[in-house]
């Protein structure tokens, strides 16, 4: 079973502050993804990565940066957090786009005041 | 508009009844997955089924790719099946996964 962990699990930030959400996976999957989940919108893809050193824009990348320093780690960075970024963020990993299932982390609840 | 539409939005059943969940999508999909999200928020993949019929335990998924629709049938529902069921597609010729907003299922004892 794939193991994807996220930290922190809960975060309160102030408007204009920098927030970094971290994701770690231990199954050597090439692909990793960051989503946010909001009522009425479901899960929306923010950024994804095909492997160490790669980051790609998803459907809603504005206001977010991503970093994939290694196969195991994928970070989501909010340089200047805004209240509209209050959400639940999920990280996922998968072996091959279009072929394999995605394994999700437990989620991070972010509140931006 | 919404690229992945799920129906019904919510469903209440008595334990032992069967559930039928629908997913319709407006783009050509190379992959279709059903996920379960627990009331606590954790997400688990249930089935990958880009076409045809797949079974796992009490779950049966049927995807008709040409008609851009998929269904998830849950037989003999249990209270532990309560939660939200999400359908997601990998859109053809893109590298993006699109999720529906889910069907919230409540199974009463």
Residue A101 at interface with chain B, using a CB cutoff of 8 Å: yes
Contacts of B99 (CB under 8 A, 6+ apart): A35, A42, A43, A44, B4, B86, B87, B88
Domains: count for chain B: 1
pLDDT-derived band of residue A19, with 50, 70 and 90 as boundaries? very high
Over its length of 109 residues, how does chain B's per-residue pLDDT go in tens digits? 568 999 999 999 999 999 999 999 987 777 899 999 999 899 998 988 989 999 999 999 999 989 999 999 999 999 999 999 999 988 766 667 889 999 999 999 9
**Residue B29 belongs to a domain with what CATH number?**
2.60.40.10
Instruction: Please answer yes or no on whether B96 and A33 come within 8 Å at the CB atom.
Output: no
Instruction: Please answer yes or no on whether B33 and A42 come within 8 Å at the CB atom.
Output: no
B62 to each of A28, A54, B34, B38, B71, how far by Cα in Å?
31, 35, 11, 23, 5
Chain A residues touching B95 at Cβ < 8 A: 48, 56, 97
Q: How far apart are the first and last CA of chain B?
A: 37
Indicate the CATH number of A4-112 among 3.40.640.10, 2.60.40.10, 3.40.720.10, 3.40.50.720.
2.60.40.10
pLDDT-derived band of residue A101, with 50, 70 and 90 as boundaries? confident
Q: Where do the domains of chain A lie? A: 4-112
Nearest neighbour of B41 by CB, restricted to A59, A97, A107: A107
Q: Which of these, A111, A41, A61, A107, lies nearest to A81 by C-alpha position? A: A111
Its domain, for residue B94, covers: 4-108
The β-bridge partners of A11 are: A110
Nearest neighbour of B42 by CB, restricted to A45, A48, A106: A106
B38-63 pLDDT, tens per residue? 998 999 989 889 899 999 999 999 99
The sign of the CA dihedral B95, A46, B100, A10 is positive
Q: Does residue B38 contact residue B83 with C-beta atoms inside 8 Å?
A: yes
């Amino acid at each position: 079973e794939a193991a994807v962990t996220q930290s922190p699990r809960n975060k309160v930030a102030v408007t204009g502050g920098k927030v970094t959400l971290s994701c770690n996976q231990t199954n050597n999957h090439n692909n990793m993804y960051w989503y946010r989940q909001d009522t009425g919108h479901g899960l929306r893809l923010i950024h994804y990565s095909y492997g160490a050193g790669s980051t790609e824009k998803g459907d809603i990348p504005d206001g977010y940066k991503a970093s994939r320093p290694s196969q195991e780690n994928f970070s989501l960075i909010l340089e200047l957090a805004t209240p509209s970024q209050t959400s639940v963020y999920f990280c996922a990993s998968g072996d091959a786009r279009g072929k394999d299932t995605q394994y999700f982390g437990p989620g991070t609840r972010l509140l931006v005041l | 508009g919404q690229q992945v539409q799920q129906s019904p939005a919510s469903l209440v059943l008595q334990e032992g009844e069967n559930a039928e969940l629908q997913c319709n999508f407006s783009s050509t999909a190379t992959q279709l997955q059903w996920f379960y999200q627990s009331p606590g928020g954790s997400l688990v993949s249930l089935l990958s089924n880009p076409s045809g019929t797949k079974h796992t335990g009490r779950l049966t998924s049927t995807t008709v790719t040409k008609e851009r629709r998929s269904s998830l049938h849950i037989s003999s529902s249990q209270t532990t099946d309560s939660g939200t069921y999400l359908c997601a597609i990998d859109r053809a010729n893109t590298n993006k996964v699109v999720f529906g907003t889910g069907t919230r299922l409540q199974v009463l004892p």
